[in-house]
Structures are given as structure tokens and as C-alpha cells.
Amino acid sequence: MRQKSRYREFCTYAGTDYSLFATIALSFAFSLLVWFLTHGQFAFPKAVSEQFHFAQSINNGEKWLQKNLREYTRAVSSVIGAILESIELFLWFKPWPIIVIAIGLPALAYGGLRLALLAVFGVMFWGMMDMWDPAMSTLALMGVSVVFSIFLGVIVGVMCSQNDLVEAFVKPILDTMQTMPAFVYLLPAIIFFGIGGPSATMAIIIYAMPPVVRLTNLGIRQVPETTIESAQSYGTTRMQMLTKVQLPQALPSIMLGVNQTIMMALGLAVLATFIGAGGLGEEVWKALRKLKVGWSLEGGLCIVFMAIIFDRLSLAMSKPASSGLLVDPSQMTFRLLPQKWVHWAPARMVEIGIGWVWDFVVRCSGFVVHIACAGVCWPLEKVNKTVGQSVRRWMRAHGILVFGLLLILAILAWDTWVAKIGYFPKSLQFTLRGPVDNAVDWLAVNPTFIGFTKGLRAFIYLYVLNPLDKFIVGLPWWYVLAVFFVVVWRSVGIGFAFVTVAMLLFTGLAGLWGITMYTLASTLASITICLLFGLPLGILSAQSKVVDSVLTPILDAMQTMPAFVYLIPVLMFFGGNPVTAVIATVIYAIPPMIRMTKLGLQQLPEEINEVSRMFGSTSLQTLLKVKLPMASPSIMLGVNQAVVMALAMQVITPLVAGLGLGKEVFHAMNTADTGRGLVAGIGIVLLAIVLDRLTQAWTRNQRYALGL
């Protein structure tokens, strides 16, 4: 008894709160009683919701805008279409080595040899899969959209940083833009800009702009006051302060915003195939319609490589160049192999050989840059010595980039040789479709696997999705509002509790109460399954390096793979039904759950094991009673990310018979009903805001309870 008392004392010290579990259990029991007494008797009154016509008002406003602005939007569409078409044609008909060099050399200059080899392989992988033209279409669409997003985003971010009123006005708009489902942006784009690349470009610009706006504003505001005061003491004007001090100091933050903008642009560029944008997304969409898993995997991997290349390259460009133009002979620095292999003789021999090649490349590029400096800067220095010196310094600092640019210009100028290069060589192409399709076909008829899929589908439907659906949808609407009010009040605050009630009332007044409750039920079902599978996998990953080394590349691929790539194998194995939608959502949303569980457990101090052994606890008791409670803030952050990703998946799952608000958005896109789609999208946004703030508050409260 004494040991049990001491152990309970230790668990209490570690943060285990038994009263919380008791409160949750009593609240759930009372809710069950309310459900039994009032099941299905208090649906949201239709007489009230019929008095409000949000969707019709939006459609009327859209018709007015279309009538008065159509001439201007079509002009903008034609300009963007011309730019996009010219870039796309250039990428299509210029030889593939130019694209490889144009992407590989910046990777070499800013990220070193490893990133350069990854970039070269990733770019050539598009041709190896015989998807060079679709990849160039996606690259053109993403490039044009990102350039406009960055240009407009930096301007808006600078305006926000210079005026608090502008920031207060723009911030809620950015919040809405970042939580609105991607599909919703495609609806007005079709109406105002038509079908094809221009409408996709405009939708991507709006969708991908918020990160660069936020991080430009944040970076400028975080410039130290001492730096600003020093500049002011030298008589710097406001414009000089912005261009010579604040923007250069905020450049790392701005580049991080550019990185996020690129990733968001690529995500919507893939989905833009639904409005005729083409590219790699069209390849995956065709594979989905024909249930060709191998085809979809090839397209998905091409998108993954594109995402990885531009993610790593933009991050590398936000830091000082790591490749180095000068080799330090006094220090052995590995350029390709892991640095920890420095004591292994074969690894050193390989790196010495790489170093010789690197010296040769550096000397050649240095010679070319020297000649270029003499040719370009000499006339500039005759006109303006300062300009000439600045150009000379930049060309010397970016020797590899200058060398690559001159090489590309030389290739482009040599028209006869360029024409002989031709298309990506067939000898380098291979396919994954045959082996993957054969494996999937074998699994589809394997009795053991069929039994597993049927059992899993039955378990999810009978014990997770159906009970949650009946329970939440069957509760009285006023009771659901009261529960949300109390929970949000106790977790976040009284102000946001009233806001939550207002947001949920909007879904009822819009006639979407039942659909919203089903979306909530399917989201909770997905998160429950993510916890059931993600928590054990995260624990195993934290305790076993072998498991971690196997899971890490799988999770990397899962987080960069387009969302609707998951639908094809899930559809083949589980059929088209709401359970399939839940399974696809789980596969998409489970990576952050696993990662954050592993991170939370790995960050715990080693002394915990010694203290728990001193109190006589077993390894399992230490894990369940001590480590998991102490890692709960990180786990809750994983739950938060899983919730956001599960709600983002709602607009994709209608492709496999998913229901809820996502189906409303998808149906509205098919019928060009912007009002209906926007209202349903707002419903998803409001639900995401409530659940996001709740899970963030639980994470914060748990950290506070643990004294972190």
C-alpha cells in the first residue's frame, strides 16, 4: 500500500490529472442520457433556416460583379494566359538538359553537392517516368503563380508592417484565406477567369499569398530597435530605412514565407486539374478515374520530387550559401557523404576525389566569371564606378550561378546543336506501373488481405463512424451549442465561447446543421483512428531506431504526396463508401500524430527512467503513467495538426463517396454554384477554427500544468 501511495504521488507530480478523466466521463454519461431522452426530436428548425438565403445572396453578388467586372477580369485572364502559354511553350520545346542545369546549379550554389544531386535526379525523374511535358506544365503554372504571389504578398506585408490599422484589417482576411478549403478558390476563378490556366493561376495567387504576407510583416517588425535607431541617427529617410535596413534584415523571414508559398502553390496547382489546368495533377486524376495505382504512383512521385526540390532549394536560398567557392585545405569537409563518416578511410578517399573535381569546377567557373566581370563591368565602371563594383562583387560571390547562366545562354544561342538534343531519351525511361499494378491486383484477390479489409471496414463503421454519427447528429442543436460554449469557455475564454456559438449558429441558419454535425463526427472518427494507430507507432518510433529509420522516409513521402493519390488504392481495397473516406483521411492526417508523439517522448529527460525505477514502477507503468502524460503537450499538438489536415481532406473525400460539407463544396463546383460552395466552405473554415483553437488551448493548458 505504501509503494502504491508513493507511486500515485509520483504520477501526480508527473502531471496525471484524475479529476479531468472523471469530469469527461460524467459529461459523456450525461450527454448519453440527453441523447436517449431526446434522440432526433430537436433538429435545427427549418422554419428559421429558410428565412436566411446566404448562398443566394452570394450568387446575386457574384452575378453583379460578373456583369460589371467581366471585361476587366477577361483582360487580366488574357494577359496571364499569354505569359503562362509562352513560359509553358519554352519549357516544352527547349531541351531537357537546360532545365536540369537551370535547377541543378542554384541547388549546387546554395545547398551544396547533396542538394544538387537530389535536384538533378528529381528533375530527370520526371523524364524517366515519361511525364516531362506534364511536369513542365505544372512548373510553368506554379512559377507564374509564385512570382505574382511573392510580388503582391511582399507589398501587402510591407504595408502591414508600416501601419497597425492595415495589419488589423488584413489579419482576419489572411486567417480566412488560410483555412478556406482549396476547392473553394476554384469556384469564383471559373466564373471570372474561365476554364484553364489563367483561372488556376488567379486561384493559386490568392491561396498561396498569405504566408509571404505574414512572414514579411513579421520579419520587418522583428528588426531590432537599436538597428533602426542607429540608421535614424545617420539621417536615413523612411524609404531608405525600409529598403536598406528593414527588408535586408527581414530577408530570412521573407524567404521562409516564399518557401511556404511555393509549397501551397504546388498543392493547389495539382488540384487545379479540376478546372482544366492540366499538368501532373491531370495525370493523377486520369489514373484515379481508371483505378490505375501504378500510374497514380508515378504522377504522385513526380509531384513529391518537385515539392522536395523547391522546398529544400528555397530553404537553402534563405541561408548563406553552404557550397563554398573556396576549398579550405586545412579542414576535411564532406560534400556528399555524412560528416560522421570522416574517420572511415574509404569515405575519405571518395570525398578527396570529389574535392579534386570540385576544385576543377571552382577554378573553371572562377575563370569564366573573371572574363565575364571584365566584359560586363568595364563599361559599367566607365559610366558609374559604384555600379560596376557592385556587379563585380555579385558576380564573384555567385560564381557558379554566373557560370551556369552563361552555359545556358551558350546552349540557347547554338540553335543547331539545341535542335539535335531533342526530347528526353527513351533509353533513360522506365516504368513502375506494371509491378505496382500487379502487386495491387494480387492483393485485391488475396483471401487474407480481403478478410483484413472487410474486418477493418466493419470495425470502423460499426464501432467508430456510425456510433459517432448517430450520437452527434441525434443530439439537440441547443444542447450541442451549450456543450461547445462550456468547453470553449473553460478552455479558451468567455469571448471565444460566444464567437463559437455564433459560428455554429451560422451553419444552422445556412441550412447545414446536420451536414456540419456529420462532418464533425467523421472528423472525430478519423482523429480517433489516428490516435489508435498513430500513438503506438509514435511510441515504437521513439523507442526503436530501426522502426524510426523505416517510418521516417514513409512519413516524408506521405506528407508530400498529393491528397487524392491516397484515394486510388483505398478505393480499390475498400470500395466507394463513407468508411473509405475516413480511411483515406486517416492515411493523410496520421503523419503529424506519429511525428509529434515521437518528438514528445524523445525530448523527455533521461532522469525520468531513474526516478521511476526508484519508485518501483515497471517500464510499462513509466510509459503510461509518466512519459505519455509529460509528453501530452506534444501529442496534443499532433492532434491539432491531424484535425486541421482531416478537415482539409473533407473536400477530397467526395471522390470516394465521402459525405458532409466536403460533398457540398464538390457538388457546388460541378454545378458552378458559388454561393452553395462558399457557404459550405465557410462551414468547414468555422469548424476548423473552433477545433484548432480548442486543441491549441488544451496543449497550452497541459504545458502550463506541467510547468513547461
Q: What is the pLDDT of residues 33-72, one digit of tens each?
A: 888 888 767 778 887 777 777 778 877 887 787 777 777 7
Q: What is the Cα–Cα distance from 478 to 485, expressed in whole angstroms?
A: 10
- Model pLDDT, residue 287: 82
- DSSP single-letter state for residue 275: G
CATH 1.10.3720.10 assigned to domain 143-290? The reply is yes
pLDDT score of 388 more than 50: no
14 — pLDDT class (breaks 50, 70, 90): very low
pLDDT score of 122 more than 80: yes
Q: What is the pLDDT of residues 64-93, one digit of tens each?
A: 877 777 777 778 878 888 888 888 888 887
The packing angle between helices 578-602 and 513-543, to 10°, is: 40
Could you tell me if 655 and 172 are in contact, meaning their C-beta atoms sit under 8 angstroms apart?
no
- DSSP single-letter state for residue 426: G
CATH 3.40.50.2300 assigned to domain 446-705? The reply is no
- Model pLDDT, residue 362: 58
- Model pLDDT, residue 50: 74
Lowest mean pLDDT among 28-32, 290-294, 457-461, 556-560: 556-560
| pLDDT, greater one: 306 or 398 | 306
Q: What is the Cα–Cα distance from 62 to 66, expressed in whole angstroms?
A: 6
Record the pTM: 0.74
Residue 109's CB is within 10 A of a number of other CB atoms, namely: 26
Closest to 263 (Cα-Cα) out of 567, 560, 564, 565: 560
Q: What is the pLDDT of residues 447-494, one digit of tens each?
A: 888 888 888 888 888 888 888 888 888 888 889 899 999 888 888 888
| pLDDT, greater one: 668 or 7 | 668
Closest to 649 (Cα-Cα) out of 557, 560, 519: 519
6 — pLDDT class (breaks 50, 70, 90): very low
Could you tell me if 14 and 629 are in contact, meaning their C-beta atoms sit under 8 angstroms apart?
yes
Domain with CATH 1.10.3720.10 in the chain: 143-290, 446-705
Q: What is the Cα–Cα distance from 110 to 103, expressed in whole angstroms?
A: 11
